[in-house]
Amino acid sequence: MGKGKLAKFADMRTFPNVFEPVLSFKDSEPFEKKGCWNSSFFQNGNPIVLELGCGRGEYTVGLARLCPERNFIGIDIKGARMWTGARDAYESELKNAAFLRTEIGLVDRCFAPGEVSEIWLTFPDPQMKKVTKRLTSTAFLERYRRIMKPDGIINLKTDSNFLYTYTTLLVDRNSLRSDIRINDLYASEIKDPALNIQTYYEQQWLQRGVSIKYLRFRLPHATPLSEPEIDIPLDDYRSYNRQKLGKQVVRLART
């Protein structure tokens, strides 16, 4: 029998690698570690990589093990899920892995300009009905630019053909540099160990025969960003946490 949520929350408060700042969209107070993650926690000058919407934290932990020369921070609001990766990193004494429990929309309150080198978006909700909630929308890309180094790397790994198509169209519309784009990762010849990390949810998608898509692109600071205007078919299968929407199409609104 797994631990209950209250027990996990209590555990998290004892983990030195977990931070739970009290932040709100109603104020502008920054998190105390903004601008000093390397000096105050990691105690090195290595690049900082974020996993946004980290869920159980398996990707954050997997990347930290693969790349000891980088620092990794998993971010999610759901602490009971995050507990799994946080405990694993703590018990494994991974010094280059940390977890931050907060809303992704508050990320620029937790990191200073240029403090982040790379971002991973692993199986985010495609948010097919509301563009501004998509983690690859221009609204979120503008937030990422406030904390990333110029031409920082954005990685999207997803089961959603809708989100993959939307993001590739956005990248092309804004002439962003695309390093890799693959619509069936495990049928490709890419052998990057970082792409072979499989989370609990990814394994469920694979068992259902859903192909995994991957896109890596660069985010410049100066380029104005705009949304693509095109009809995209919605995903036509049932997710574990969203309703089946059928083969409808939506018009992507310019923000």
- Enumerate residues 6+ apart whose C-beta is below 8 A from 39: none
What is the DSSP code string of 98-112? EEEES-GGGGGGTS-
Q: How far is CA 21 from CA 30, 37, 94, 107, 135, in A?
A: 9, 14, 22, 11, 21
Could you tell me which of 80, 198, 63, 219 has the C-alpha nearest to residue 151?
219
Token pair in block for residue 104: 């992704």
**Residue 125 among the catalytic residues:** yes
Block residue for tokens 């998608």: 205
Q: Which letter does DSSP use for residue 212 in this model?
A: P
Cα 112 from Cα 93, distance rounded (Å): 26
Task: Tell me the HSE value of 84 on the side-chain side, using a 13 A CA sphere.
Answer: 15
Question: Torsions phi, psi of 210, nearest 5?
Answer: -85, 130
Smallest CA-to-CA distance from 73 within 125, 119, 11 is with 119
Q: Which of 76, 88, 125, 192 is catalytic?
A: 125
Active site residues: 125
